[in-house]
Chains A and B, each alone.
Chain A
Amino acid sequence: MIDPDSLTDDDFRKLGFHAGLEVHHQLQSRRKLFCNCEPVLEEDPHNFDYSFHRYFRPVLGEMGDFDEGMLIEYEKGYKVIYYANERNTCTYEMDETPPFMPDMETITKGFILAFYFDCKAFAEEVVVNRKQYLDGSITTGFQRTFIIARDGYVPLQNGKKVRISNLHVEEDAARRVNWFDTSERTVYYNLDRLGVPLAEIITDHLDVDTPSELIETALQIGRVLRISKIGRRGIGAVRQDVNISITGGDRVELKGVQDIHMFDKYCRREVVRQHSLIEIQKEMLERGLKKEDFEHTYIDISHLFALPPKKKVFATIFPKMKGLFGKEIQPGKDFGIDIFEKSMLITGIPTDYHFHSDEFDENSVRKRNNNYSRIPINEELYQKIQTLLNTKDSDAFVVVQGSEKACMHALKKIIERVKLALDGVPQETRRVTPDGNSEFLRVIHGKDRIYPDTDTPPILIDLEKLEEWKKEVGIKPWELLEELSKRYNFTQNQVDLLIRDDKLELFSEFTDELELDGALAYTLLIEKPREFRRKHMPLTNEVIKRCARLLSKGIIHREQLNTVLEFLQENPDSTEETIKEHFSTQYNEKELEDLIKKELENLSFEDVNNKNMAFQLVLPNLVARIIGKTNNCVSGGKIAKMIENFLEVK
């Protein structure tokens, strides 16, 4: 296995790394997309007012085919239990009433968003589609989703344009709760999130070829959602699916990544996984293996074990596969476990109750990671199983423990998966695990699971409206960066903070109308609020705006910022007059000179030998005193300079 952390950008390019994003960003809205419920989430999704349960079945796609992924979903045999609260759900979320007309405000936002990405082809008639999901995350069994536009892009700093192939608006799915154990056949969801509007922004999988480009793409998209104020903020408002492939591998989708900072790790580990799978494929071909070599023969070896009631143990031989199940394909995880995770998800037998013959090796990945199978196979049993299965030295075998039905199902899935290994990397949707690895979630969904929604008639989009919406598009994040870096030398990070803190309007008001310089406006809008928050004195926009006006009118000086902000916080009713009295900065040269003269006159060096040294000692104090007298409106440097000049003249 390649060390994932050793990969450089060059290595990624050499391996033919490609990645695309599906960014799911919740949209600001007053209601849910297809009903009138308020889009608010429960603080604790385990709380509920009512609960019910359902089962799901696959249905045909529009072109008359069952989606392969859907059939596998159905095999999982989930019972789905829903938790729901009355304040954010209704019979729509319960799938007990047809959809209401979609929220036009949200659809409008979708179009405006599409203009931000310079989309070329618009849905001039929006057609609501159904996208099947049988995992229970949507009570209808399909997500209502529609294309807003296609063929847009986001630019990267290296000049590349990452294409946006599709921009969809859709309803969010329910929130999974109680997800402790993938082998569990009952799944739980809270319905609060179901129906919250989402934008799905899909980038072209071919356009990104290093993890850093992928991260930048995600950041750019996030900036658009923020700067446009179309995206909802807060935890869980953005989830992205990352599609990754390398040359010789295939598209694998990592589902529901919330933290962009983890992208790099996920990319590395997926590249390593695909690379390892390709090596396994090569090795299998070299050993002359063919799909027909793997027979669906399951041997009952229950008699070798003392088992709980209704449990059985079955084994299957994998000819010429010795050493391959034990091959590490992601740090701490071997090929066998990767397969067992899939079997667990579909059949419900935990990975612990799967065993492969390679883990018996002294230095096996499973042993090194303390991840033993719980099927108690010792040296003696191992021999016995080998005899029963009639294995040769080059063969491997797999053992599973569970109900008879589940065992057969699991071995069937494992054999099918091993056959697929001859084709290399299977297209899968995978769930990332906290260690940065990933496990099978489902077969990648095809287009056969899309079906037009007969409940909602198509919505005509007035072409004039489209023109109107185009005008609502403000400055784009990349244009803003260019402008601010040119004018004020701002960095991307500074611009991001202005966007993130939602201070862009104020920034341009301060710089353009109040004519503050960029650095000062930035200090006032970004740095000071942070400083004050740390002091537990959060600043309101109102105080900041007043301060900016005072600066602009010259009533106060930038050196006075802290004291003025504190004063304004404590005296919200203070008038400009009182502030002027308090902080007046109208010290002209003459006044300042007089002030300094007076202070100097108060000094007495009569008794001192080295007058110059004595003066140097008191100078800082003197300057501070004068600054204080000017209410912080003259800089210390200037005062010191004036004192020196004054003394020289004297």
Chain B
Amino acid sequence: MNDKQTDYEPPEGYRGELLERLVKDKIRTWAEIRITKGEAKYEGILLPRSLNTDDRYVTLKVDTGYNLGVFVDDDTKIEEIGYKKGKYKLPSVDAEFKEDLPNVTLLGTGGTVASRLDYRTGAVIPAFTPEELFSAVPELIPLVNLTPKTLYQILSENFQPQFWVKTAESIAKEIESGADGVIIGHGTDTMAFTGSALSYFLRNLPIPVVIVGSQRSSDRPSSDGPKNILYSARLAGYENFAEVVVCMHGGTSDSYNLIHRATRVRKMHSSRRDAFRTIGDIPLGKVDEKEITWFRDDIKPRGPREDFYLDAKIDDKVGMLYFYPGMKPDLLESMVDLGYHGVVIIGTGLAHVGTDMYTALERCQEEEIPVVMTVEPLFGYTHLRVYETGREMLARGVIEGANMLPSAAYAKLIWALGHTRDINEVKKIIQTPVAGEITPKEGPRGYLLMQGIERGIDEFLKHL
């Protein structure tokens, strides 16, 4: 009982009166407790309680491993009867360095391969040591010498442009120290933004940089993460290409992954494994258990490390607006007032905004704030010379973003403004293709959104 006195820590996640009461009785989380309420008896381990839940309940893990909550009122008796702290750790696996295997560095920015439960939020947070990684995906061991390093442990929606810079700097370090390839473990939501930024920052990239994540978190037996990381390791370690790509499931089956150019990829579904699609073009390639197939001949091969340099100057005072019917100019004007240096607008159709917006565009023009237009349809190019509206917009100085995706345009404007605030220079940078974010043409395969009624689709669905 003595160490109970000295080591006592209040139960995690409990609040209010219930916390006071637990503290008074020195009841700990992970302790075995007994709750008595009239005829009802509950025995189990007191678990930490999640935030944003009712503070009058305790969470209990009973003998069968199930959890349940019990309402605690004044007549409820709680007593501690034992203690067992959980140790959440994947068994560690030793992986020896092997001379004949390629060296690949995995830079972690958020949970991909292994993760664990966060009791505070009830959500999943990454666990990310080499041991854990190899234990979760042992097939990596004979494949490459993989060195995992943690850059961040954040959800991808919490990424900031300066994190792109730090990521790029870390990649540069790996390139300098001779890595044959780099894998970036990344939350899927903003993968395309990071990928686009890295595509601009890493000049004359000599090795593959593969961004990977999982649409089903790795705490699930059905996670797509293990296959994604395995395929990424093969790409990064063995393939002759040197671009920033995203490698994620190509279909709902665990059958093949697609290799997307980071500037052309977009997350097109909130939850499916095959959410990532190349927009306006076909993907670079495909990888499955047996082989890697490349579909294009404009893929940049590996190059000399000497030519590589990092150009990660940014200006993150950039915002993005999604034009909608009824949008008032005040939004854009207030961005000017707030001191934004550049704006990307997702315009309707060919990249239009309503005439109401003209005054705000004029304001931007006067203040030499670049306004880059992209298209709300995602597929296709901006064409501001076709209609009167477009010509009016051009007259007010907007910059056509061609068929740049909004994410690619946003990252590019941040990068461009890092180099110059001269509006003409910015325009030149924006409109010059750097890493495939603008393509010279779109072929018939660039736009294949099936509607589920095409001839042959029934047969297709039988082999997803």
Contacts and interface: CB of A to CB of B under 8 A. Distances in A.
Given A57-B226, A64-B86, A98-B271, A450 B65 contact: yes
Contacts of B363: none
Nearest to B457: A50
Given A129-B67, A147-B62, A50 B221 contact: no
Interface in A27-60: 48-60
Interface string A409-450: 000000000000000000000000000000000000011111
Contacts of A266: none
B436 to A, nearest CB: 29
A194 to B, nearest CB: 13
Given A54-B253, A64-B87, A49 B66 contact: no
B222 A121 contact: no
Given A95-B216, A447-B64, A127 B221 contact: no
Interface in B74-100: 84, 86-91
A294 interface: no
Nearest to A141: B221
A457 B53 contact: yes
A451 interface: yes
A140 B40 contact: no
B137 to A, nearest CB: 8
Contacts of B255: 53
Nearest to A165: B64
A173 to B, nearest CB: 13
Contact of A56 (B69, B116, B222): B222
Contacts of A54: 222, 253-254
Contacts of B218: 59
Contacts, number: 162
Interface string B33-52: 00000011110000000101
B252 interface: yes
A54 B84 CA distance: 36
B220 A142 contact: yes
Interface in B253-287: 253-255, 269-273
A126 B67 CA distance: 8
Interface string B88-132: 111100000000000000000000000011000011100000000
Given A48-B462, A50-B461, A146-B66, A66 B220 contact: no
B91 A452 contact: no
A123 B57 CA distance: 11
Contacts of A91: 271-272
Given A64-B88, A126-B68, A451-B219, A50 B464 contact: yes
B227 interface: yes
A449 B64 CA distance: 10
B70 interface: yes
A145 B41 CA distance: 21
Given A59-B220, A95-B216, A124 B71 contact: yes
A425 to B, nearest CB: 22
A600 to B, nearest CB: 74
B61 interface: yes
A166 interface: yes
A125 B68 contact: yes
Contacts of B89: 64
- Centre residue among B70, B221, B252, B464 by max chain A CB count within 10 A: B221
B65 A449 contact: yes
Contacts of A51: 461-464
**Which of B54, B65, B269, B272 gathers most chain A CB within 10 Å?**
B65
Interface residues of A, number: 60
Contacts of A124: 57, 68-71
A454 B124 CA distance: 7
A122 interface: yes
B117 A52 contact: no
B147 interface: no
B431 interface: no
A448 to B, nearest CB: 7
B69 A125 contact: yes
Contacts of A151: 40-41
Contact of B221 (A56, A120, A463): A56
A454 B122 contact: yes
Interface string B136-177: 100000000000000000000000000000000000000000
Contacts of A56: 221-222
A55 B221 CA distance: 8
Contacts of A146: 66, 68
A139 B87 contact: no
Given A64-B89, A125-B68, A59 B57 contact: no
B458 interface: yes
A53 B254 contact: yes
Nearest to B225: A57
A140 B219 CA distance: 11
A94 interface: yes
B223 interface: yes
A55 B66 contact: no
Contacts of B291: none
B318 to A, nearest CB: 32
B313 to A, nearest CB: 40
Contacts of B71: 124-125, 463
A96 B123 CA distance: 18
Nearest to B53: A458
B40 A121 contact: yes
B73 to A, nearest CB: 9
A97 interface: yes
A56 to B, nearest CB: 4
A58 B202 CA distance: 38
Contacts of B117: 62, 451-452, 454
B63 interface: yes
B271 A454 contact: no
A349 interface: no
Contact of A50 (B50, B59, B216, B462): B462
B13 interface: no
B10 interface: no
Contacts of A53: 253-255
B329 interface: no
A141 B88 contact: no
B418 interface: no
A460 B58 CA distance: 12
Nearest to A119: B40
Contacts of B84: 63
B65 A61 contact: yes
Given A60-B88, A141-B222, A120 B40 contact: yes
Contacts of B221: 56-59, 70, 132-134, 140-142
Nearest to B136: A57
A466 to B, nearest CB: 10
Nearest to A51: B462
A193 interface: no
Contacts of A96: 252, 269, 271-273
A140 B461 contact: no
Interface in A61-101: 61-64, 66, 70, 91, 94-98
A109 interface: no
A95 B223 CA distance: 10
Given A48-B462, A150-B42, A454-B123, 18 more contacts: A49-B461, A50-B462, A52-B253, A56-B222, A125-B57, A126-B68, A129-B65, A141-B221, A141-B222, A147-B62, A151-B41, A446-B65, A450-B67, A451-B219, A452-B67, A454-B122, A457-B122, A463-B71
5 contacts: A57-B223, A166-B64, A447-B65, A454-B123, A460-B57
Interface of B: 39-42, 50, 52-54, 57, 59, 61-71, 84, 86-91, 116-117, 122-124, 136, 216, 218-223, 226-227, 251-255, 269-273, 458, 461-464
Interface of A: 48-64, 66, 70, 91, 94-98, 120-127, 129, 132-134, 139-142, 145-147, 150-151, 166, 168, 446-452, 454, 457-458, 460, 463
Q: 8 tightest A-B contacts by CB?
A: A125-B69, A141-B221, A447-B65, A450-B65, A50-B461, A64-B88, A123-B68, A121-B40
